[in-house]
Chains A and B, each alone.
Chain A
Amino acid sequence: MNKRYVMVHDENKCIGCQACNIACRSENNVPEGVTRLQVRVEGPYGEAPNLHFKYHRVSCQQCEDAPCVSVCPTGAAYIDENGLVSIHNDKCVGCMYCIAACPYKVRFINPITKAADKCNFCKDTRLARGEQPACVTACPTDALYFGDANDSESEVALLLNTKITYQDKTHLGTKPRVYRIPTKRGGIES
């Protein structure tokens, strides 16, 4: 594995506008009624007047130890040469074991292909053309960063080295590759 693609979501910059959600939908022809990516606006938390919201990106976490891949009986869910968790549509029988096994609940049955579907960092479309994923490009506040964390010169490597980040449900040992920069409440001081 030569690349280690990661995504960083800066929850300070995110405004919950769903531009990423719409861009993903259009780039990947995601059918009506299902989504690969949502940004949930959770809250408000705290007491008035100091209320705040949390912007929670819900999409495939591209786990290094992906439960969906190990449970898939046919090998339809697999990890490609760049470490991306992907799906062979023609091998999937729709047993939904991967959907049940995913701790992040981000897999779904595509109503058109009837196969399991999810975010793959736009690997067949934009990544293949050497571009950034659609959500990253569309984000109006530049809250998303994407790149190869194995490349120490990359923007994401720099971010992971300098910012405090967290990942979801690390206690399950899945090693997710979506990192989040938590909101620093109370404004910017320095």
Chain B
Amino acid sequence: MNNTWGDMAQYDPLIWNWIIAIYLFMAGLSAGSVLIGIGMRWYSKDKSIESPILKASAIIGPVAICLGLACLVFDLTKPFHFWLILINYNFDSVMAMGVAALMAYMPLGFIYSIIVLRDDLAKWKLGFLTPIGNMFLPFRKVIEVLMFVLAIAVGAYTGFLISAMNAYPMLNTAILPALFLASGLSAGAAGNLIVALTCFNSSTHDGEVMKLHGLDLPVIITEMMFLFMLFTSLYFTGGAAAESLASLSQEVWGSVFWYGVVGIGFCIPILSMFLPSSTRHTKAMMLTVACCSLTGVLALRHFIVYAGQTYIS
């Protein structure tokens, strides 16, 4: 401190850090996993059995959002006052709308999980929950539709949350909620695949697994398109927005983007599709590709949070 006006530490533009990036990742993973699980159930022919993919989403959905919210609460400067946010609502605030959505999404998510896993609960010494699952079974359709809608809200709200800040040109764009929803789907698909293959001993040639695997390419192409749209809109906006594109070529966040998001998240899954079918459909290969997708999505959240806050308009 050698200026006349005092300490500059509080003026660091980086306010939200990696904890928030992890929360955004977890919320996207949870929402994406639920959307894929329920969506695939609606499109499957045999609705009488609970598919390993749906069971995986029944675990990832509630667990990921709980871990994410734990990050969020402990990032507050007053973590033990978090309940204030549950009773005071300012509906101009995207965060308040998100909290309201999560208040419905979380309990419903647990109920839906108990319904889906009702026959497996006894194996994990949670048999006492089975009657609750059976109790809600008649309302399954309604809960499913509500969960699907709420999952879209949760997945997109994380994008609206940071795009609501007009001080940051890279965040203040309409494309961010769509990008976050698409990359959440990619994370959800990868997460469901990993849990289905490892915890529920699903075969790599299972019809549902193959269908899920087929989703990879369209989701990645959508994400790439949204990213391209984000960067072109910044370029054409000019000023501070165009300057923020420098983050793509600067050391740390440039590397996170090109190696993490593009290299690991996009290129490895796409290149794996050129492998011979016998290699491509081995469990090890599928798990590797899914882990790469998850890493890419995590890298994308970090890039957006950090690079986004570096440039102020």
Contacts and interface: CB of A to CB of B under 8 A. Distances in A.
Interface string B1-41: 00111110111010110000000000000000000000000
Contact of A35 (B10, B312, B313): B10
B167 A93 contact: no
Interface residues of A, number: 42
B99 interface: yes
B165 A101 contact: yes
Contact of B90 (A18, A73, A93): A73
A71 to B, nearest CB: 5
Interface stretch (A102-110, A129-137, A155-163): A102-110
B6 A21 contact: yes
B301 to A, nearest CB: 15
A103 B7 contact: no
Interface centre among A69, A75, A109, A172, by most chain B C-beta atoms within 10 angstroms, is A75
Nearest to A78: B90
Contact of A70 (B9, B15, B88, B93): B93
B84 interface: yes
B166 interface: yes
Contacts of B47: none
Contacts of A38: 5-6
Interface centre among B5, B9, B166, B168, by most chain A C-beta atoms within 10 angstroms, is B5
A96 B15 contact: yes
A95 B92 contact: no
Given A74-B88, A75-B88, A100-B309, A93 B94 contact: no
Contacts of B93: 70-73, 97
A6 interface: no
A187 interface: no
B95 A95 contact: yes
Contacts of B84: 74, 91, 93
B164 interface: yes
B77 interface: yes
Interface string A104-144: 01001100001100000000000000000000000000000
B10 A74 contact: no
Contacts of A34: 7, 10
Given A103-B166, A108-B10, A172-B166, A93 B78 contact: yes
Contacts of A41: 3-5
B78 A92 contact: yes
B166 A67 contact: yes
Main secondary structure, interface of B, reads loop
A60 B166 CA distance: 17
B85 interface: yes
A49 interface: no
Given A93-B78, A94-B78, A97-B95, A73 B85 contact: yes
Nearest to B14: A100
Interface in B233-284: none
A148 to B, nearest CB: 27
Nearest to B168: A100
Contacts of B96: 73-74
A99 interface: yes
Contacts of B77: 93-94, 96, 109, 114-115
Given A70-B92, A71-B94, A95-B76, A100 B7 contact: no
A114 B76 CA distance: 9
B173 to A, nearest CB: 15
B312 A103 contact: yes
Interface string A158-188: 0000000000010111000000000000000
B167 A67 contact: yes
B139 interface: no
B15 A99 contact: yes
A3 interface: no
A186 to B, nearest CB: 25
Nearest to A30: B6
Interface of A: 16-18, 21, 33-35, 38-41, 58, 67, 69-76, 91-97, 99-103, 105, 108-109, 114-115, 169, 171-173
Given A58-B11, A93-B81, A95-B76, 16 more contacts: A35-B5, A38-B5, A70-B164, A72-B90, A73-B99, A75-B90, A93-B78, A95-B85, A96-B77, A97-B95, A100-B15, A100-B167, A103-B166, A105-B167, A115-B77, A172-B167
Interface of B: 3-7, 9-11, 13, 15-16, 75-78, 81-82, 84-85, 88-90, 92-96, 99, 164-168, 309, 312-313
7 contacts: A17-B4, A34-B10, A35-B6, A40-B3, A58-B11, A94-B76, A105-B13
